[in-house]
Structure 1
Amino acid sequence: MNNELIKLTEAELEDLVTSWGYPRFRAKQIHEWVHRHHAASFDTMSNLPKDLRTKLSEFFPLETVKIFDRQVSLDGTRKYVVTLADGSLVETVGMPVYHRDGSLDRLSVCVSSQVGCPMACQFCATGREGLTRNLTAAEIIAQVALVQEDFQERVSNVVVMGQGEPFLNYDEVLAALRILNSRDDFNIGARHITLSTCGITDGIDRLSQEPEQFTLAVSLHSALQKKRDRLMPKVAKQPLSDLKKAVERYTQSTNRRVSFEYLLIKDVNDSEEDLRALLDFCDGLLCHVNLLPVNTVEGSPLQAASPATAKHWVETLIHYGVETSFRKSRGADIDGACGQLKNKLAQGSLR
């Protein structure tokens, strides 16, 4: 969908259609097609006059997305490589959770915010690709609509944890999240929408002033400065001390907890020194630590820490009063790590 069309309110659509000589009620029809039905073509808007559809297509060509590749994991996760209107590829993941009786409990979607990523994190396949461009709000929303259509189930949660650094595309990402949150659209609760950043402090400060209660996650991965700089070189100019102050300002302003994402990497960031540094960093913060196993990326020597190490970290963090969980990897059998599947397809290794 065209980015400008999807961002127009119903009142703005009324001004548009009346300026073209059409009655006001046409605005409501357009708004419903765009936001409730997520129409991929003006031809499907059957209750609109053909000449209005033609005019809309001239001013607001719909930016359709298509599935380039789709893989289904044994755990039910579906990973998509999505083709955008300009031929660019991004990854999107649908993660269902089922009740014991087989019925769906919730459906989460992990969306990308950029084509590629400029952050160059060592553990991320997308980081090797570099940045091509930002996604529009419409392209972010289209990923959610695509997964909802493929599952034929309502999306209940969205995480902006796919390709890209969301705070480097702040305006379009926030516009997309507000539309996802809107009662006129997906009606996903703000607390069920999570935005993940590498730790861009300006973005954290900016988000703290937004009225919506979106959830903030920060990719930490080490609380030792030199080690974090090696793992995440593009945020090396923003020291951990500044990051902690930004998180403190965020929690003071919003009274909302921040989640720290921490990939446990064998012999890299899983020592006792690393654990003590994380405890010190979390001291005094309203936070939750999500420990994760690193996904194996082709050509990378990084391996997941042992289950015994993960268990020790969870027990120690909880013992010292830090809310902690260990999140199992989803879709590991289908190139679940960010950028893996897209990069393989780009190299032609799956053809």
Structure 2
Amino acid sequence: MEKTDLLSLPLPRLTQWVTEELGEPGFRAKQIYQWLHQKQVTEFSAMTNLSAALRGKLEEKAVIAPVSTVTRLDSHLDETRKFLFSLADGNCVETVWMEYNHGPSLCISTQVGCRQGCRFCASTLGGLVRSLTAGEMLGEIYEAQRQMGKAISSLVLMGIGEPLDNFENVMDFLEILSSPQGQNLSLRHVSLSTCGLVPEIRRLMERKLGLTLSISLHAADNETRDQIMPVNRRYPIEELMAVCREYFAVTGRRISYEYALIAGVNDDMDHADELAALLRGQNCHVNLIPVNPVKERDTKRSSRQQIQRFVERLEQRGLNATVRRELGSDISAACGQLRREHVSQSQQE
């Protein structure tokens, strides 16, 4: 019999499971939920206000899916930490802890691998293995907090994988994350990054969650974006911009556009002018990212001088733009690279 993954169940579904599957009163679900998501225990035996009989039922029929640390890299330049976490089936994902003035932030993965095929990203090499459960995404947070000895104040869904390609699990994750009986993190402190899956952006919009939507744009014309982001062939820029304007109109939440500067591909002044023209009139922010070198790719990052010229050009055109602060640059293997190296090493052993 397959055991039920309790970490992945929002409180209403956990309550239904406890009453129907275990025959227990509904208030027991709230107790279990608080043990899982507030005290973040990893064993049913730690739930000391439950009877021994109930803990025995939980052991028999349920599981707390483990997430364990394989590798932890600590930056010598700042307080950034990069984790390689192992899941119950042996797959691995990456998570990054970053310290800011407003408190610690965590960047988590939502899938093992990715099928979007962006040409500058290490995460897509090898394609998609599977999506993470809500419990595994929460496990990334809980394990990182255990390691660091404190709670996060903000969260970014921008690690390995495309969050909106794992839509239902991510929605369950966000419900548990923001639950007053759970982690109780306001979704206004959560940023979700997508390559531009238009139908799923619309589904997200309809939920009016209050999170920050980040669009991985990386080019302002279809020809360039087609080359570096295959998703653009399904949902070209015109469709993407239309749904983004609709998203703001419905939610009132400003959109952030991610733009990785790749030398000789999307970083000249004509590209800056096209980007400014594309986003003119939108209430938005542009986050410029010096692209991370990936040994399997031939992309090169723009020079500091070119990046500065690009920023100044956007500002001259009236666009709000900043260059992403680089944290942990001494451990900055591009997102997905640490996992890929671990998989490669494991296959050789």
Partner of 1:72: 74
Confirm or deny: 8 A CA contact 2:7 2:65 kept in the other structure.
no
Whole-angstrom distance in 2 between the partners of 1:19 and 1:205: 35
Confirm or deny: 8 A CA contact 1:2 1:138 kept in the other structure.
no
**Equivalent residue of 1:27, what SS?**
helix
Q: CA deviation at 1:291?
A: 0.2
Q: Which region of structure 1 is more displaced relative to structure 2, 205-214 or 181-190?
A: 181-190
Whole-angstrom distance in 2 between the partners of 1:334 and 1:8: 35
Whole-angstrom distance in 1 between the partners of 2:221 and 2:16: 55
Q: CA deviation at 1:25?
A: 4.7
Confirm or deny: 8 A CA contact 1:43 1:53 kept in the other structure.
yes
Q: Does residue 323 in structure 1 map to residue 326 in structure 2? A: no
**TM-score, with structure 1 as normaliser:** 0.92
For residues 261-283 of structure 1, give each alpha carbon's deviation from its aligned partner in whole angstroms, at most 9, with x where no partner exists: 00111111101221111111111
Q: Does residue 123 in structure 1 map to residue 135 in structure 2? A: no
Whole-angstrom distance in 1 between the partners of 2:26 and 2:133: 28
**Equivalent residue of 1:325, what SS?**
strand
Q: Does residue 33 in structure 1 map to residue 53 in structure 2? A: no
Q: Which among 77, 96, 108 is matched to residue 105 of structure 2?
A: 108
Whole-angstrom distance in 2 between the partners of 1:279 and 1:25: 54
Whole-angstrom distance in 1 between the partners of 2:234 and 2:173: 29
Go from structure 1 to structure 2 and tell me whether the alpha carbon gap of 1:298 and 1:326 turns closer, same or farther (over 3 Å shift): same
Q: CA RMSD in A?
A: 2.2
Alignment of 1:71-220 (within 5 A): 71-74=73-76, 75-98=78-101, 105-220=102-217
Q: CA deviation at 1:107?
A: 0.8
Partner of 1:51: 53
Confirm or deny: 8 A CA contact 1:295 1:332 kept in the other structure.
no
**Equivalent residue of 1:292, what SS?**
strand
Go from structure 1 to structure 2 and tell me whether the alpha carbon gap of 1:25 and 1:182 turns closer, same or farther (over 3 Å shift): closer
Q: CA deviation at 1:8?
A: 4.0
Partner of 1:101: none
Residue type of the partner of 1:332? S
**TM-score, with structure 2 as normaliser:** 0.92
Q: CA deviation at 1:27?
A: 3.1
Go from structure 1 to structure 2 and tell me whether the alpha carbon gap of 1:223 and 1:2 turns closer, same or farther (over 3 Å shift): farther
Whole-angstrom distance in 1 between the partners of 2:85 and 2:17: 34
Whole-angstrom distance in 1 between the partners of 2:227 and 2:23: 60
**Equivalent residue of 1:82, what SS?**
strand
Q: CA deviation at 1:13?
A: 2.5
% of aligned pairs identical?
37
Confirm or deny: 8 A CA contact 1:92 1:110 kept in the other structure.
yes
**Equivalent residue of 1:208, what SS?**
helix
Q: Which among 264, 267, 292 is matched to residue 267 of structure 1?
A: 264
Mark the runs of 5 or more structure 2 residues left unpaired by the alignment: none
Partner of 1:298: 295
For residues 253-303 of structure 1, give each alpha carbon's deviation from its aligned partner in whole angstroms, at most 9, with x where no partner exists: 111111000011111110122111111111122211000111121232222
Q: Which runs of 4+ in 1 moved over 6 A?
A: none
Whole-angstrom distance in 2 between the partners of 1:211 and 1:305: 37
For residues 79-135 of structure 1, give each alpha carbon's deviation from its aligned partner in whole angstroms, at most 9, with x where no partner exists: 11111111111111111125xxxxxx4111111111100011111111112001111
Whole-angstrom distance in 2 between the partners of 1:5 and 1:122: 34
Go from structure 1 to structure 2 and tell me whether the alpha carbon gap of 1:213 and 1:141 turns closer, same or farther (over 3 Å shift): same
Whole-angstrom distance in 2 between the partners of 1:18 and 1:130: 39
Residue type of the partner of 2:177? L
Residue type of the partner of 1:84? L
Q: CA deviation at 1:175?
A: 1.2
Partner of 1:102: none
For residues 169-199 of structure 1, give each alpha carbon's deviation from its aligned partner in whole angstroms, at most 9, with x where no partner exists: 1111111112212222222221110110001
Confirm or deny: 8 A CA contact 2:37 2:182 kept in the other structure.
yes
Q: Does residue 236 in structure 1 map to residue 233 in structure 2? A: yes
For residues 26-65 of structure 1, give each alpha carbon's deviation from its aligned partner in whole angstroms, at most 9, with x where no partner exists: 3332121012112211122223222211211222211111
Go from structure 1 to structure 2 and tell me whether the alpha carbon gap of 1:40 and 1:227 turns closer, same or farther (over 3 Å shift): same
**Equivalent residue of 2:72, what SS?**
strand
Mark the runs of 5 or more structure 1 residues left unpaired by the alignment: 99-104
Partner of 2:219: 222
Residue type of the partner of 2:90? G
Whole-angstrom distance in 2 between the partners of 1:151 and 1:5: 21
**Equivalent residue of 1:305, what SS?**
coil
Q: CA deviation at 1:319?
A: 2.4
Q: Which among 273, 277, 286 is matched to residue 289 of structure 1?
A: 286
Confirm or deny: 8 A CA contact 2:269 2:313 kept in the other structure.
no
Confirm or deny: 8 A CA contact 1:119 1:234 kept in the other structure.
yes
